[in-house]
Amino acid sequence: MTIHTDYEDDGQALVLYIQGFFDYSLHKEFRQAYKGVEGIRRYIIDLSETEYMDSSALGMLLLLREFASDQGSEVVLRNCSREVRKILEVANFQRLFQIEAQA
């Protein structure tokens, strides 16, 4: 379980790569990954290496969405596995987030 970050679009997009289980144990690390970063227009959550996510992960995504909205930014969920995509769909997250297909 870990998070690492990278930048795209000349530093205007922050990509958070979530590996393993996305659950409450990543709460602090997840927040620290995006708090205090300036000039971000797009937060991209790459879920290609996410094995599972629970309700606390859904809550963390909602908190990021609220934070990004306050900054005039958007949140994109990218590269979801079939299992993770099902979790997002059950929670109706396709109505709240742009979800990009797996590459």
CATH numbers and ranges of domains, the chain: 2-100 (3.30.750.24)
> What is the pTM (predicted TM-score) of this model?
0.93
Predicted confidence pLDDT, tens digits, the chain (103 residues): 689 999 999 999 999 999 999 999 999 999 999 998 989 999 999 999 999 999 999 999 999 999 999 999 999 999 999 999 999 999 999 999 999 876 5
Q: Give the up-direction half-sphere exposure of residue 18: CA atoms within 13 A in the CB hemisphere.
A: 29
Of how many residues is the chain composed?
103
- Report CA torsion sign: 82, 51, 28, 87: positive
